[in-house]
Amino acid sequence: RKEVEQDPGPFNVPEGATVAFNCTYSNSASQSFFWYRQDCRKEPKLLMSVYSSGNEDGRFTAQLNRASQYISLLIRDSKLSDSATYLCVVRGPPNNAGNMLTFGGGTRLMVKP
Amino acid sequence: SQTIHQWPATLVQPVGSPLSLECTVEGTSNPNLYWYRQAAGRGLQLLFYSVGIGQISSEVPQNLSASRPQDRQFILSSKKLLLSDSGFYLCAWSLGGLTGELFFGEGSRLTVL
């Protein structure tokens, strides 16, 4: 089983649609969680952190379910500019050298007019 | 504010030639530094990380090496490139701790011919 697993997609949705991505992680001791966005041939950029209580930033909502070991990202009212690859990122438990991030393979979203 | 820069942005190298990618971070002290590689259509693979000057940890065996000669400088090198070294190389930094987020440079796209 991969440490962080995502459906690669692509998810093809019309403008204005609501779309949700899930991501599962294998290490129950993982400490923190993030969603990153990566545009084609660009570097990943932090979209939002994921908190235990869930958090919302405009049209984006992130949820964490520790019992089932998954995080989710919900995008409401999709825009053409939301087209990108969304990376699920999990920070593992601390060890002597630090606490490492593991990236999922990404979910590609394509928003159509 | 903190910034991260890496260069060169694009390079085409013949098999067997050397490689040097550089990365610098400004506006912070004692960051954790990372080199990732992203092959076409694949997720991010952690190559090296460093928690301090002269401290390098390698995540995967390969013909690449990394060095940290100064607190905010991270260098990725190879003496002889292989075709399989082609990819998108990303430098990143984070602050230590359990919840630190990762911030990426613009990336260096390497094609080995």
Output the 3-class SS for A13-25.
Answer: EECCCCEEEEEEE
pLDDT at A111: 98
pLDDT digits (tens, 9 = 90+) for B38-81: 987 677 888 998 988 999 988 876 789 999 999 999 999 999 99
| Paired strand residues for B90 | B36
Residue A55, min C-alpha distance to chain B (Å):
16
pLDDT at A32: 87
- Assign 3-state DSSP to chain B and report helix, strand, coil percentages, each to 5: 5, 60, 40
Cα separation values, B92 from B36, B48, B55, B107, Å: 8, 11, 16, 9
Of B42, B101, B107, the CB nearest to A43: B107
Residue % of chain B over a pLDDT of 70: 95
Residue B42 to residue A105, Cβ atoms within 8 A: yes
Residue A43 to residue B49, Cβ atoms within 8 A: no
| A2 pLDDT higher than 90 | no
CA–CA distance, A43 with B89 (Å, rounded to integer): 9
